[in-house]
Structure 1
Amino acid sequence: MRVLLLAVLFGSALVGAMPVDAAYDAAHAEHRPAEHPPAKPDMPQPQVEPQPQPQPQPQPVEPVVASKPADPSLMQTPLLAPLRWSTPFPDVIEASTNLPLSWTGGDASFGFEVYFIPIWPGQHQYDLHTITNTTAQNTVWNVPDYEDFPEDTTFILGVKDSTGGPGGGWYDLTSPLLFVNLLNA
C-alpha cells in the first residue's frame, strides 16, 4: 500500500514539474516516420509504393531414419557389462613365449583392441603397441624378444571396447608386469 502511495505521489510530482507547454506539445504531436520530412500543405507529396518483401521459401525436411552410427565411439554403452581381464596374469612376462589372453564384458559386435605399453627407467614417452584387433574375447600374444626392450622393462596390458563411452567400463588395464628373459637365467 505504501509503495503504491509513494508511486502516485512521485508520479504526480514529476508530471507537475514538467513545463506545461512541453507537456501539451508532447500530448498533441503527430507520429511521422523518421524518413519522411514534415508534410507541407502547399506541395504535393510523392507517393511511395510499398516494396514487396521476399517471403521465405519452405525448405524440404528429410525424414529421420534410424541407422547404425558411422563411428561406434560416439555411442554410449551404459548397459554393457564392464570390460575386465579374465586371464590370471603371472607376476612376470617371459620373453619369446605365447601368453593366452581373455576378457569378459564389453560389446564384441564392434570389436576390441588388445595392446601392451612397455615402460622402462628414464622413458619419457609411452607408446601403445597393438597386439590385435578382434571381435573374439580371447587371443594369444606372441611376447616380444627380450632384446627388443631395455633392461628393467615392465609391460601394462590393456583391452578396450571400440564403443568407448563415459566411465571406465569400456577398458581394462593390468598393473605393470616385469618383462624377463628366463631362457638365459
Structure 2
Amino acid sequence: MNASKLVILDRDGVINEDSDAYIKTPEEWRPLPGSAAAIARLNHAGYRVVVATNQSGLARGYFDQAGLDAIHRTMAAHLEGAGARLSGVFFCPHGPDDGCACRKPLPGLIDQIVAEYGDVTGVPMVGDSLRDLEAGVARGCRPVLVLTGKGRRTLDKGLPETLGPVDVYDSLAGFVDQFLKDPS
C-alpha cells in the first residue's frame, strides 16, 4: 500500500493544547484553534491523517487505558464536528525508562504506521518537539515543526543538522494551508 496520501501528526501541542502536567481527562483535552479545520481540509483533499503520540501518563499511572480512550473519543467527536477524522491513533504507553522501541524519538510508532499504511518516505511528520521529528526522519518522513505547544521552545534550542531541512510553521493550520498548495 502506498502511504503517499498520508500525514502523520503528534497529538499534544499539534492538535490540542499541551500540558506539562499531562492531559489526564477528556475535560483537559482542549483543541488548538484551527487544528480540526486543518485536518478536515486534509481529509477533503484525499489525505488520511494519523496520530503518533507518546502517552507515558499511562505508565506513570496518571490515567488508565479507559481514560485515554475517553480522551480520544472526545478528540474524535470534536474533529467530527468540524468535518474531520483521523484514520488511526498510534500511541506509546510506556515511560521513558521502560526500554521500549515505540517511544519517540525511537521510530517504533512510525514502524506501526508503516505496517498498516506502507512506506512513509516523504510523508509529513508534524510535531512540536525534536523527538517527533527524529522519529519521523528515522523512517524517511519529511519533518515539519509547528510552533504551537513546545514548538517555539524546540526551535529556540536549535534543530540538529542530522534532521536535514525542516519546514517550520506557526500552527497545524499554517502547515496545511501551504501543504495543500504545494504538497512536494
TM bracket, shorter-chain basis? under 0.3
- The structure in which a higher percent of residues are strand is 1
After TM superposition, the score normalised by the length of structure 1 is 0.25
Please tell me whether Structure 1 or Structure 2 has the larger radius of gyration of its CA atoms: 1
If the length of structure 2 is used for normalisation, what is the TM-score?
Answer: 0.25
- Name which structure has the greater RCO, CA cutoff 8 Å, separation 6+: 2
